[in-house]
Amino acid sequence: MSLDTAAVKPHEALGAMLETEMAAVDRLIHERMVSENAPRIPEITAHLVDAGGKRLRPMLTLASAKLCGYDGPYHVHLAATVEFIHTATLLHDDVVDESDKRRGRPTANLLWDNKSSVLVGDYLFARAFQLMVEPGSLRVLEILSNASATIAEGEVLQLTASRNLATNEDVYLKVIRGKTAALFSAATESGAVIADAQPEHITALRAYGDALGIAFQIVDDLLDYGGSTSATGKNIGDDFRERKLTLPVIKAVAQADDQERAFWRRVIEIGKQGDDDLEHACHLLAKHNTLEETRVEALDWATKAKSALAPLPATDIKDVLIDLADFVVARVS
Amino acid sequence: MSLDTAAVKPHEALGAMLETEMAAVDRLIHERMVSENAPRIPEITAHLVDAGGKRLRPMLTLASAKLCGYDGPYHVHLAATVEFIHTATLLHDDVVDESDKRRGRPTANLLWDNKSSVLVGDYLFARAFQLMVEPGSLRVLEILSNASATIAEGEVLQLTASRNLATNEDVYLKVIRGKTAALFSAATESGAVIADAQPEHITALRAYGDALGIAFQIVDDLLDYGGSTSATGKNIGDDFRERKLTLPVIKAVAQADDQERAFWRRVIEIGKQGDDDLEHACHLLAKHNTLEETRVEALDWATKAKSALAPLPATDIKDVLIDLADFVVARVS
The tens-digit pLDDT sequence of chain B (333 residues) is 444 445 688 888 998 999 999 999 999 999 999 888 888 888 888 888 888 788 999 999 999 999 999 998 999 999 999 999 999 999 998 888 887 877 778 888 888 888 899 999 999 999 999 999 999 999 999 999 999 999 999 999 998 888 899 999 999 999 999 999 999 999 999 999 999 999 999 999 999 999 999 999 999 999 999 854 445 555 688 899 989 999 999 999 999 999 999 999 999 999 999 999 999 999 999 999 999 999 999 999 999 999 999 999 999 999 999 999 999 998 887
Task: Determine the Cα–Cα distance for residues B309 and A245; give it in Å rounded to an integer.
Answer: 57
Predicted ipTM of the assembly? 0.91
Where are chain A's structural domains? 10-313+323-330
Instruction: Give A311's DSSP letter.
Output: T
- B251/B249 Cα distance (integer angstroms): 5
Calpha distance B151→B146 (Å, rounded): 9
Q: Which residues of B302-319 are buried (b: 16+ CB within 10 A; e: fewer)?
A: bebbbebbeebeeeebbe
Contact A126 B95 (CB under 8 A): no
Question: Which of A40, A116, A127, A129 to mutate to probe the B interface, most B CBs <10 Å?
Answer: A129
Residue A34 forms contact with B (CB below 8 Å) = no
Distance from CA of B45 to the nearest CA of A (A): 13
What CATH architecture is B10-326?
Answer: Orthogonal Bundle (1.10)
Q: Which residue of A has its CA nearest to B140?
A: A133
- Computed on alpha carbons and rounded to an integer, the radius of gyration of chain B in Å comes to 20
Q: Assign a CATH topology to domain A10-313+323-330.
A: Farnesyl Diphosphate Synthase (1.10.600)
Which chain A residue has its CA at the smallest distance from B148's CA? A126
Give exposure, A308-318, as e/b (b: 16+ Cβ within 10 Å): bbeebeeeebb
Distance from CA of B59 to the nearest CA of A (A): 23
Cα–Cα distance between B157 and B139 in angstroms, integer? 27
Is B114 part of the contact surface with chain A (CB cutoff 8 Å)? yes
B38 and A95: CB-CB below 8 Å? no
Interface check A165 vs B, CB under 8 A: no
CA distance B212 to B217: 9
Give the integer Cα–Cα distance in Å for B145 and B190.
11
Q: Can you tell me the distance from the alpha carbon of A146 to that of A61, in angstroms, rounded to the nearest whole number?
A: 16
